[in-house]
Amino acid sequence: MKAERLLAELDRLRKDAPKDESDLEYLTLFHVFCFVSYKMTDFRQYVQEQQDKGAFDKFAE
């Protein structure tokens, strides 16, 4: 699993949510996407650690 793939999926979810700044779902997706994008080095490390633990083993591409 690549961190970029997870981030792309998060971005898709964010774009699918109606833009409503009073909606918690929209705000959560938007700000988590921004934060993870800003911290990509840390996110890549986290994803690699999870990969090493087998967290993505059941994911079928």
The pLDDT value recorded for residue 60 is 81
| H helix count then E strand count, the chain | 3, 0
Res 12: pLDDT: 97
pTM of the model: 0.89
Q: How far apart are CA 18 and CA 57, in angstroms?
A: 32
Q: What is the pLDDT of residue 2?
A: 96
Q: Could you tell me the mean pLDDT of each successive run of 10 residues in the chain, 61 residues long?
A: 96 95 96 97 98 94 72
At residue 23, the pLDDT reads: 96
pLDDT of residue 52: 96
Closest among 29, 8, 7 to 19, alpha carbons compared: 29
